[in-house]
Chains A and B, each alone.
Chain A
Amino acid sequence: MSVVIYVPCDAAAVAVGADRVAKAFVDGLARRGVEGRVVRNGSRGMVWLEPLVEVVTPAGRVGYGPVKPKDVEALLDGGLLDGAGHDLRLGDVEKIPFFAKQERFTFKRVGVTDPVSLDDYLAHGGYKGLERAIAIGPADTVEEVFNSGLRGRGGAGFPTGIKWRTVAACAPGKKYVVCNADEGDSGTFADRMIMEGDPFQLIEGMTIAGVAVGADMGYVYCRSEYPHAIAAMNKAIEAARKAGYLGSRVAGSDYDFDMQVRVGAGAYVCGEETSLLESLEGRRGLVRAKPPLPAHKGLFGKPTVINNVLSLAAVPFIMSEGAKAYADVGFGRSRGTMPIQLAGNVKYGGLYEIAFGVTLGELVEDVAGGTFTGRDVRAVQVGGPLGAYFPRSLFDTPFDYEAFAKRDGLIGHGGVVIFDDTVDMAKQARFAMEFCSVESCGKCTPCRIGSTRGVEVMDRIIAGVEREKNLAILEDLSHTMKLGSLCALGGFTPYPVMSALTHFPEDFGRGSMPLAAE
């Protein structure tokens, strides 16, 4: 009998030795004369168990992890091929509580299939969404996405359906679909996992967007720090094109759509949509003033749908299962699910897709299990380098765009970075300013100059020089940056800075202040 062993190709698994584990299995099978193959799947999202190896048995897939290359021989000798017991045996991976509690809409195939196999994708419900979009036509497809309540997963939370409506309403002619895969936020890796673990889903989502708004060309702008994702996307695009899912007359329909991957070059600000468009056009990634909106004048001055990877990857589910199935879960005005990424000093880190409404405390304490250092959680930064630091007293905040905004925070791209009690929040505030000054595109003054002054002010505060005076300057500066910056980089840098100061004043040499009343 031919055995099948899954060893993830996800970058997080590779970083902890998955490539060597895969090779050890290939060699181990060959030495034993066992016929079999090692499939490189995506990651199940349980990063602390990586490399998480699964073997196909008559009773289903059985997981083992974390597997080190030196464990492979013992596992094979111990009857891994029959799913036999071993210290590393996890059993049915989908029954592990971390996995079982999730609602996987966007990530349902990630970790299950061979990411670059179109046959696998089709066998697991792939391209059903596009089929339906073609059947019901562009106008109804746009309405379906609108009715799902899907909001921009890049962080701004703008309704995707309205964006699509706007572009669809523009006069026919050249239009573009651009996918923002410049996932620069620290603590986020969901886009990467989609591109590495289920690239066809993103391709399908973009194709549906193209059909819906009348665009025939798409670009994925992927950051250069993700070589594995770029390779997987290119392979999948090639396979989709060969099978007639990209190119002229997509899937035998009357619509044309093709796409390409473009690689960034290490500029964080290019995750801002107008800066990204400038970069795609081959220029410095300077932020554009809005209006005009990209939906009216985007790439090369043409109407452009620009969405995050997670927004576009959610579309095939919405189209195949219906808007209602997606909108039925969620919280308030945040409908559907959010792939949340638990990172930093975390015991059980990884990707956790769940309906909106779960509280920050549940995520940090119950799901993530606190810190891996075993120390107390002191602060949690939600939403990347521009997101606010939340103290334990705000752990009752539900994961929802509005609820976080109400508490001067943001959910951003869904990254949750956990810090233990050794963190110095003044240093983190300084880092936020420093990051902004390094990554500022330089177009607007509050961000370009403000961030540099911010670092200097923080240095004085940390050194204890005229603290109260400098703290007043810091507050004033933050206010100016927040209101005066052209884009979110300068505009949101005050979030981590001011939240650190508000919630952890003792780190800034201020006595502990009573928390503001809710």
Chain B
Amino acid sequence: MPILHAMQETFGYVPQDAVPLIADAMNLSRAEVHGTFTFYHDFRHEPAGRHIVKVCVAEACQAAGARVTTDKIAKALDCAYGETRPDGQVTLEPIYCLGLCACGPSAMVNGRLVGLIDDEAIDEIAAEVRS
């Protein structure tokens, strides 16, 4: 796992070519490495967009109005959840809980945490993604 994390940190995703190399170095089968790689939501199979927006969709944020907020964000960014916009500008992902449950709805924008998301915050996120 630390190797896969390091790969993703360096390349932004885990290239398929890396699987046999890791298997070789760890004395594991390719199937075992592939299994681990594909089990976890975090590891990307392809490069992400220039900006990464992760929006919390779990219950506490839902209670705070996230069902509406998540739709608004998708519309503002013109991107569906789990996808990268065709121009490669942004990747939008759902995330299950950032631990900001008393200040929801919340999101992580390029690694920066945002709580109490309102329309103004959505505009700011959209502006950041345009840059």
Contact = CB atoms under 8 A, between A and B. Distances in A.
A459 B61 CA distance: 22
Interface stretch (A133-141, A222-230, A507-515): A222-230
Contact of A265 (B4, B58, B104): B4
Contact of B1 (A11, A183, A282, A342): A282
Nearest to A16: B115
Interface in A383-405: 385
Given A345-B64, A415-B60, A263 B103 contact: no
A47 B58 CA distance: 18
Given A15-B113, A186-B61, A344-B60, A279 B1 contact: yes
Nearest to A191: B99
B59 A385 contact: yes
B97 to A, nearest CB: 5
Interface centre among A263, A267, A343, A372, by most chain B C-beta atoms within 10 angstroms, is A343
A265 B100 CA distance: 18
- The bracket for how many chain A residues form the interface is 35 or more
B101 interface: yes
Interface in A368-421: 372, 381, 385, 415, 417-420
Interface string B35-70: 110011111000000000000001111111100000
A514 B29 CA distance: 58
B101 A349 contact: yes
Contact of B115 (A15, A385, A418, A439): A15
B111 interface: yes
A494 to B, nearest CB: 16
Chain B binding surface, main DSSP class: loop
A282 B23 CA distance: 12
B65 to A, nearest CB: 8
Given A11-B113, A15-B113, A431 B100 contact: no
B91 interface: no
A329 interface: no
Q: Give the size category of B's interface with A.
A: 35 or more
A316 interface: no
B101 A265 contact: no
Contact of B102 (A264, A343, A385): A343
Interface string A342-362: 111110011000000000000
Interface in B76-131: 95-104, 106, 108, 111, 113-116
B5 interface: yes
A386 to B, nearest CB: 11
A342 B96 CA distance: 18
A268 B40 CA distance: 9
Contacts of B100: 11-12, 15, 189
A418 B61 CA distance: 10
Contact of A284 (B36, B97, B115): B36
Contact of A343 (B1, B60, B108, B113): B60
A70 interface: no
A16 B100 CA distance: 10
Given A185-B97, A417-B63, A265 B102 contact: no
B32 interface: yes
Contact of A345 (B42, B63, B114): B63
Given A265-B5, A344-B64, A439-B96, A47 B103 contact: yes
Contacts of B64: 344-345, 372
Contacts of B102: 12, 47-48, 189, 341-343, 346, 349-350
A188 interface: yes
Contacts of B40: 264-267, 285
Contacts of A224: 5, 42
A283 B36 contact: yes
Contacts of B108: 225
A184 B96 contact: yes
Most chain A C-beta atoms within 10 Å of own C-beta, residue among B40, B63, B64, B100: B63
B39 A344 contact: no
Contacts of A183: 99
A262 interface: yes
A340 B101 CA distance: 12
A29 interface: no
Contact of B59 (A187, A226, A372): A187
A285 B39 contact: yes
Given A16-B115, A264-B42, A344-B104, 5 more contacts: A262-B2, A264-B40, A266-B95, A341-B101, A435-B58
12 contacts: A11-B99, A264-B42, A266-B40, A267-B41, A282-B36, A283-B32, A283-B35, A343-B101, A344-B61, A344-B63, A385-B58, A417-B63
User: Which 9 pairs between the two chains have the least Cβ-Cβ distance?
Assistant: A349-B102, A344-B63, A186-B58, A15-B115, A343-B101, A265-B40, A266-B41, A47-B102, A265-B42
Interface of A: 11-12, 14-16, 47-48, 50, 183-189, 192, 224-227, 262-268, 279, 282-285, 341-346, 349-350, 372, 381, 385, 415, 417-420, 423, 428, 431, 435, 439, 441
Interface of B: 1-2, 4-5, 26, 32, 35-36, 39-43, 58-65, 95-104, 106, 108, 111, 113-116
